[in-house]
Amino acid sequence: MTEAPPRPAPAAPVRDHGAHREADPHDDGVAGTGRAVGSGVLRYGGAERATGAQQYVADLPFPDAAQVAFVTLPVARARITAIDTSAALALPGVVAVLTADDLPQPVPRFGISHQDRPVIADGEVVFHGEPAAVVLAETVDQARAASRAVVVHHEPLPGVYTLEAALAPDAPLVHHPSVRPASGPAADSNVLDDAHYAWGDLEAESARADVVVENTYSFPMVTHFPIEPGGTVVVPTADGGVEVYSPVQHPYLLQRVLAKVLDLPLTKVRVLAPDPGGGFGGKQNPRYEPLMAFLALRTGRTCRLVHSLEDTFAMMRRAACRIHARTGFASDGTVLTHELRADYLIGAYADVAPRVMSKGSYVGAGPYRIPAVRIDARAVLSNTTPSTAFRGFGCPQVAWATESQMDAAARALGLSGLEIRRRNLIGRGEAFVRGECPAPSDGDWLESLEKAAALIDHDAPRPPGRGVGIAVAIKPGATSGLSQSLVRLLYDGSALAYAGTSDMGQGARTLWQQILADELGVGLDAVSVVSGDTDRVPFDLQTSASRSTVFMGNAVLAACRDIRAQVLELFAEATETPVELLGEGPGVLLTPEGELPLPEAARIALGSLRGEFVGRGTSRMRGRSAHPLGGDAAFYEFNCTAIEVEVDTDTGELLLLKHVSVSDVGTELNPLQVVSQDEGASIMGLGHSQMEQLLVGEDGVIRNLGALDYRIPTFKDVPVELVTAAVANADGPGPYGSKGISEGALLCTAGALGAAVTDAAGVVLRDLPITPERVWRALHDQTD
């Protein structure tokens, strides 16, 4: 799919990337000189994106495809009593209408943590927007017209749309008994899963506490809002299989799920994943691909479905969360105890939401040295859009509460937000999660805190109405993983990397290109990267949790080094040089006559028969079944964010004067891409902190469906000054000491903003987003 097409020559390989970035420690490198890594190499595939040539799924031509439209109901939960398709079938261009009755019985279900999601609504729709039937017609207009003509007889059923309703003793149960676990909390309640972490002696430590702060916080339901809504095309193949085009982050997971649901071998399910136009976690897991595959196999037609932005609101969202926190401190600000109850409001199907809950709450105590902690978290089902992975996973939710608690205590003790964090932040190697499976810090996190404090000029006096807030947070990286890569060094010195990572904007392919350039001694322009095709590219578990730099990065690196070893061996044989006289290094073969560029050594080794070298690399991290997360995190993303804000106390409006984000990145493999990711995550964090929230009505229907009333940050919402910086101590497990970096900058945005607003205006907000109306209301309540 994504083999390199001819690319226009970039203006220059490296450029100054703006005034607002702290200087990075790396020199700018030049292609082919062995210093591509660490320099701001321009994005692989960037030129196609800038000219409009890049083809996303909706841009791919399928001239013979029939078009798909969903039939949905105007309610959140209903029993389907009958579906009358006759009027729809009589309309021009209609090919077929498919309902649950047309599928194998019982209707197959699939899922990540639970096999609970039916291919199509089976007797009942359980959230607003879930298709009750699907129409196939020659054109989009015809499909939509026919979808309106399908009559779905249904009885609305009571649903639960809030934590209160879902947890009520007599709440209707979201999960059908047939898919509900027989044991555990979900057997007779809407609590699908729970997690508990505890260490230390709460009673004893509580007795020592001089100050105890206890509050309840809320984090809204927010949606991914990728600018590419996405879609799926399924082509039935002559051998009874399917080719599936879907911009997914995990092509191999989709392949596995489809093979199982369709009862086909993996070889008959080919997933071609065009680059997602933004993923953010929303495009990880299968949703309607199985339905599309059945439709294609039943009709023998290529079936094409392109989603609207509104559709995505019914497909993906972040779990909302309510967090109750009780935290005890000694008079010097030392935190002694932290008790957290976090209820994540997940949707009508599990997706990965239980994992979001357990992994997010795992770091609920933050990167602090706390002697006694108790965390109880639950994933609570509701009749709403199934929640899924979203940049930061479940961490921003608990960080909002924990960071706000730190500031509440700081105020009570007369300390600054900076000082209380200085006193409690964990040092390298110390465990911030204690107990049987301790989690030690893998970075110099105080350095990030101090850097951010300096950049925001934390202790500077500020005029009335202005305030500053500083916050920190961590997120566990992947706890297991498998990435496999192939690299081919061709006779003419060009090279191909086969790496299954989805490039959804983070720029993964650029990194593979850089690694190949340095390790094989080839020019950047001589490197192509192939991804997005399960028939051509070896296995990669998934593109998530900021894992790719570490996992696929190491696999690509290993494949390059495999090639170097092969070149050495063959060169020895071809030139009859004793192996022990040869050596290899990045981009070179060391011979008795001196260094030889690796491509030249390869040519000599291959000789007149030509051919190529094929290197293999695998990066495998097995989990640990005894670990509550199924394994230790490969690394932690740590971020410190500091915000300076001015509050208009008449209207509640905020003016963000300065926003500082400092991430612990290990090594900046591509500083330009690190900046892009850090700035992007910072602003995305401001989205859920300031303006984003899905408003669900009492009927379970989203009230602000679409771009007009669901507001995400624009150019004008960027803080007056946005500064990102990195701490780079080469202490990560990835290539050259790198860590994953794509999520850090949004983990604690809310905490920093909340503290800044309190500092500026004297009011404390515990519900996100911090809208002008909420700030005004807090000020208003205060003066009443």
Partner 1 sequence: MRYTSPRSADEALGLLAEHGAGAKVLAGGTDLLVALRHRTVEPAVVVDIKRVDDFDEPVRVTDDAIVVGPTATMGRLAELEEVRRRHVALVEAALTVGSVAIRNRASLVGNSCNASPGADTAPVLLALGATVTIAGPAGERTVGLDDFFLGPRRTACGPDELVTALHLPRPRPGSGSAFQRITRRRGVDLGTVSIAAVLGPDDDVALGMGAVGPRPLVARTRLGDHESTAAAVEHLVAAATPIDDVRAGSDYRRAMLRVLARRALDTAARRRDEEAA
Partner 2 sequence: MTTFAATGPSPDHEDPAVTVSTTVNGEHRTMSVPAHRTLLEALRDQLALTGSKTCCAEGECGACTVILDGHPVTSCLVLAVEAEGREVTTVEGLAPQPGELSDLQEEFLAAGAVQCGFCIPGQVVAAECLLRANPTPSTAEIREGMSGNLCRCASYERIVCAVHATAERRAGA
Q: Could you list the residues that contact partner 1 (CB under 8 A)?
A: 650-651, 653, 690-691, 695, 703-704, 708-709, 711, 713-717, 771-773, 776-777, 780
Integer Cα distance of 401 and 322 in angstroms: 9
> Any residues with CB less than 8 A from the CB of 725 and at least 6 apart, and which?
21, 22, 451, 452, 455, 660, 661, 662, 663
For partner 2, give the closer residue by CB, 49 or 488.
49
Q: If contact means CB under 5 to 8 A according to the sort of partner, which of partner 1, partner 2, none does residue 275 touch?
A: partner 2
CB of 718 to partner 1, least distance (A): 9
CB of 518 to partner 2, least distance (A): 20
Instruction: Tell me if 747 sits within 8 A of 476, measured CB to CB.
Output: no
Q: If contact means CB under 5 to 8 A according to the sort of partner, which of partner 2, partner 1, none does residue 8 touch?
A: partner 2
81-92 in b/e form (b: 16+ CB < 10 A) is eebebeebeebe
3 binds partner 2, rule: CB under 8 A: no
Count of residues making up the chain: 784
514 binds partner 2, rule: CB under 8 A: no
Report residue 371 CA to chain centroid gap.
31
Encoding tokens for residue 45?
Answer: 């595939």
Integer Cα distance of 556 and 535 in angstroms: 19
311 binds partner 2, rule: CB under 8 A: no
Q: If contact means CB under 5 to 8 A according to the sort of partner, which of partner 2, partner 1, none does residue 651 touch?
A: partner 1
Q: If contact means CB under 5 to 8 A according to the sort of partner, which of partner 2, partner 1, none does residue 195 touch?
A: none
Radius of gyration for the alpha carbons in the chain, expressed in angstroms and rounded: 27
668 binds partner 2, rule: CB under 8 A: no
Q: If contact means CB under 5 to 8 A according to the sort of partner, which of partner 2, partner 1, none does residue 780 touch?
A: partner 1
Encoding tokens for residue 516?
Answer: 């190949």
CB of 653 to partner 1, least distance (A): 7
Per CB under 8 A, which region of 30-38, 43-51, 331-339, 755-763 contacts partner 2? 43-51
Intra-chain end-to-end CA distance of the chain, in Å: 63
Name the DSSP class of 345. E
Q: If contact means CB under 5 to 8 A according to the sort of partner, which of partner 2, partner 1, none does residue 534 touch?
A: none
Return the residue of 464, 706, 773, 782 that touches partner 2, per CB under 8 A.
Answer: 706
CB of 700 to partner 1, least distance (A): 15
Q: If contact means CB under 5 to 8 A according to the sort of partner, which of partner 2, partner 1, none does residue 43 touch?
A: partner 2
22 binds partner 2, rule: CB under 8 A: no
Task: Using CB under 8 A, count the residues that bind partner 2.
Answer: 88
For partner 2, give the closer residue by CB, 12 or 23.
12
Encoding tokens for residue 560?
Answer: 């390059």
Find the binding residues for partner 2 in span 711-750 (CB under 8 A): 712-716, 718, 722
Q: Mask of contacts with partner 2, 116-145, x by CB under 8 A?
A: ----------------------xx-xx--x
CB of 651 to partner 1, least distance (A): 6
- Position of tokens 């599936």? 244
Per CB under 8 A, which region of 36-44, 238-246, 440-448, 535-543 contacts partner 2? 36-44
Q: If contact means CB under 5 to 8 A according to the sort of partner, which of partner 2, partner 1, none does residue 734 touch?
A: none
Closest CA to 753 of 608, 636, 641: 641
Return the residue of 65, 98, 132, 516 that touches partner 2, per CB under 8 A.
Answer: 98
Q: Which residues are catalytic?
A: 743
DSSP for 86-113 reads HHHHTSTTEEEEE-GGGS-SSPPEE-SS
87 binds partner 2, rule: CB under 8 A: no
Return the residue of 4, 30, 47, 266 that touches partner 2, per CB under 8 A.
Answer: 47
Q: Which helix H or strand E contains 422, and what residues bound it? A: helix 417-424
CB of 311 to partner 1, least distance (A): 14
Integer Cα distance of 10 and 706 in angstroms: 37
CB of 169 to partner 1, least distance (A): 30
CB of 679 to partner 2, least distance (A): 5
CA distances from 317 to 79, 688, 740, 758, 770 (A): 24, 12, 23, 29, 19
Integer Cα distance of 688 and 392 in angstroms: 12
For partner 2, give the closer residue by CB, 10 or 523.
10
Integer Cα distance of 285 and 292 in angstroms: 15
Integer Cα distance of 388 and 316 in angstroms: 6
For partner 2, give the closer residue by CB, 116 or 289.
289
Q: Mask of contacts with partner 2, 539-578, x by CB under 8 A?
A: ----------------------------------------
Q: Mask of contacts with partner 2, 458-497, x by CB under 8 A?
A: ----------------------------------------
704 binds partner 2, rule: CB under 8 A: no
Encoding tokens for residue 475?
Answer: 């997120």
Integer Cα distance of 774 and 658 in angstroms: 21
How is the chain split among helix, strand and coil, in percent rounded to 5?
30, 25, 45
Ramachandran quadrant class, 545 (left: phi over 0; alpha: psi -120 to 50; beta: rest): left
673 binds partner 2, rule: CB under 8 A: yes
Q: If contact means CB under 5 to 8 A according to the sort of partner, which of partner 1, partner 2, none does residue 675 touch?
A: partner 2
Q: If contact means CB under 5 to 8 A according to the sort of partner, which of partner 2, partner 1, none does residue 612 touch?
A: none
CA distances from 244 to 248, 262, 264, 274, 275 (A): 10, 13, 14, 10, 14
Ramachandran quadrant class, 91 (left: phi over 0; alpha: psi -120 to 50; beta: rest): beta
Encoding tokens for residue 348?
Answer: 């009508």
Q: If contact means CB under 5 to 8 A according to the sort of partner, which of partner 2, partner 1, none does residue 653 touch?
A: partner 1
Encoding tokens for residue 576?
Answer: 């009859």
For partner 2, give the closer residue by CB, 489 or 745.
745
Integer Cα distance of 416 and 701 in angstroms: 43
CB of 655 to partner 1, least distance (A): 8
Per CB under 8 A, which region of 185-193, 302-310, 333-341, 604-612 contacts partner 2? 302-310
95 binds partner 2, rule: CB under 8 A: yes
Q: Which amino acid would we find at residue 214?
A: E
Name the DSSP class of 542. -
Integer Cα distance of 374 and 337 in angstroms: 8
Integer Cα distance of 743 and 359 in angstroms: 14
Closest CA to 478 of 426, 425, 542: 542
Q: Mask of contacts with partner 2, 209-238, x by CB under 8 A?
A: ---------------xxxxxx---------
Integer Cα distance of 390 and 384 in angstroms: 16
Find the binding residues for partner 2 in span 238-297 (CB under 8 A): 275-280, 295
Q: In the sheet that 594-597 helps form, which strands lie side by side, from edge to edge?
A: 583-585, 588-591, 594-597
Q: If contact means CB under 5 to 8 A according to the sort of partner, which of partner 2, partner 1, none does residue 682 touch?
A: partner 2
How would you class 200 by CB atoms within 10 Å of its CB: exposed for 0-12, middle for 13-18, buried for 19 or more? middle
CB of 561 to partner 2, least distance (A): 29
For partner 1, give the closer residue by CB, 171 or 691.
691
For partner 2, give the closer residue by CB, 6 or 177.
6
Return the residue of 17, 176, 208, 777 that touches partner 2, per CB under 8 A.
Answer: 17
The CB density around residue 203, as the number of other CB atoms within 10 Å, is: 9
Strand 320-329 and strand 211-219: the pairing is: antiparallel
For partner 2, give the closer residue by CB, 144 or 428.
144
Return the residue of 23, 51, 169, 170 that touches partner 2, per CB under 8 A.
Answer: 51
Q: If contact means CB under 5 to 8 A according to the sort of partner, which of partner 2, partner 1, none does residue 183 touch?
A: none
